[in-house]
Chain A
């Protein structure tokens, strides 16, 4: 089942890949990598999740709107996720590549709505940083879409300074009620992710263990 959610002038496609198998279990929201769509998530990877499983198509990807003239940023994609979370309620977020960085941002930005963020390997993980040579990517608009060629060009070089990523990791650690709000399961560790690991500590975790840990997480208590 696919629902379409408005995010500004964009229509986001949110796909329900699997209904809840256990009553009361919270949902899992899957975030694809650069250039991918909801179809990127193999069924075996989420089949045991007790709650509903949803997959979002980011702006310019999959069945979501392709805007004119680019203007992508990871912060806008964080906004995509926030729209989805407002619709499905607090959820565990699992992102691949680019989606892993977005999972970090939303875990720090909305710690009350993210019941754990799992970061997996995938395309578009690294982005660029302050030390990168200034670059204005040339966009081949004749390429078929989706994905939007502007999304590929701009999100492959989106700025992800390590101290900025570390700031979001700290926000998640300090403001989430979970003892470990972010779990890094990646082999690839670009500078921004190394900074996150420095903040969080601990060794990489197997994704299956991370999913088991978050499946039983309870929502953040509402202050009396």
Chain B
């Protein structure tokens, strides 16, 4: 299916999606949202040096789940798909994406289901995330396109590109490459990730997930909590993220992320199985790796993965970077990616 792009319009805070309410195909996001009520002291956080809102926003229907789609750059420029990581949202690319767009690309990103302004779904799963990703790609073009993915977004793209290599031309992976440990007893890893306590807590969460609500907080408090996951990112940047990824009501700010989504995932760690297939990865690959371990990272290094990269791939360990390489070093990362896309 194809969805036409909405007319160019200035970006604005979009209305949060109603839980489990599918959006109509190609519904245009309101561009005249009322200004949120917030503390005057918070006003400065609505702007961040180098950050630029997307030129276009719209919604698409991904099999009944409404997804918020964002575009930077000229509408007739060659498209590139940009996929965010777990617990993030497209507007975390507000500095990085414009740099790619200004090099002559139409950068298309979206909020994954349950994230940002996309609809909260009844179910969340790896294949559903991949199908959503393909729905966004289809809404842009049915021709093969290049893609950029960070973290879980990179991991999703690795699997999607291996499944549908004819759909993609090249792939820039920003710290999005998981690793299958060579430990001979893989059950040891299942013990770690699927301990009785973890299983029990996950099942307990299923009993209350539908009624869970996020705790309201002042803007800077919610940013400080986020810093536990993003310890290397500046307070001002995290406050800016709150203005884009959270919503404000009478009680304070709350992340838009569906409270039913728990960090860390659950079930077989299928992302690690990709390692063995990397030598046969079917499209040109640029793989950027962080060098400083972080809570949101993959717990693996460039040295772990480099023996598995195909000969044509370019792998690069970015000195003194944490998991969010493109946020810590937007210019350097963008230059590498632009050079790769133009090759």
- What is the interface of chain A, defined by CB distance below 8 A to chain B? 6-10, 59, 65, 67-76, 78-79, 82-83, 86, 108-110, 130, 133-137, 139, 141, 150, 154, 157, 159-161, 163-164, 166-168, 170-171, 175
Contact = CB atoms under 8 A, between A and B. Distances in A.
Given A69-B132, A130-B273, A136-B164, A150 B63 contact: yes
B111 to A, nearest CB: 14
Contact of B191 (A73, A130, A141, A167): A167
B206 A109 contact: no
B125 to A, nearest CB: 4
B206 A82 contact: yes
A71 B20 CA distance: 13
Closest 3 CB pairs of A and B: A71-B123, A68-B64, A67-B122
B236 interface: no
B225 interface: no
B270 A136 contact: no
Contact of A167 (B62, B187, B203): B187
A76 B123 contact: yes
Contacts of A136: 127, 130-131, 134, 160, 163-164
B260 interface: yes
Contact of B131 (A70, A130, A166, A171): A70
A160 B268 contact: yes
A83 B199 contact: no
A199 to B, nearest CB: 10
A187 B134 CA distance: 38
Contacts of B187: 163, 166-167, 170
B124 interface: yes
B19 interface: yes
A82 B203 contact: yes
Contacts of B209: 8
A134 B277 contact: yes
A75 B267 contact: yes
Given A69-B62, A130-B273, A154-B125, A79 B203 contact: yes
6 contacts: A68-B64, A69-B62, A72-B123, A157-B127, A159-B267, A171-B199
Contacts of A67: 20, 121-123
Nearest to A160: B268
B177 to A, nearest CB: 15
Q: How large is the interface on B (under 10, 10 to 19, 20 to 34, 35 or more residues)?
A: 35 or more
B178 to A, nearest CB: 13
Nearest to A175: B196
B65 interface: yes
Nearest to B134: A136
B63 A164 contact: no
Contact of A59 (B123, B186, B203, B266): B123
Interface string B203-238: 100110110000000000000000000000000000
Given A70-B123, A159-B267, A170-B187, 11 more contacts: A69-B62, A69-B132, A72-B125, A75-B202, A76-B123, A83-B207, A150-B128, A154-B125, A161-B273, A166-B187, A167-B191
Contacts of A68: 20, 22, 63-65, 121-122
B41 to A, nearest CB: 37
B123 A171 contact: no
B326 interface: no
B277 to A, nearest CB: 7
A23 to B, nearest CB: 29
Contacts of B266: 75
A75 B193 CA distance: 14
A82 to B, nearest CB: 5
Nearest to A138: B131
A135 B277 CA distance: 13
A54 B327 CA distance: 53
Given A7-B206, A82-B203, A69 B113 contact: yes
B203 A109 contact: yes
A135 B163 CA distance: 5
Given A136-B160, A171-B196, A71 B124 contact: yes
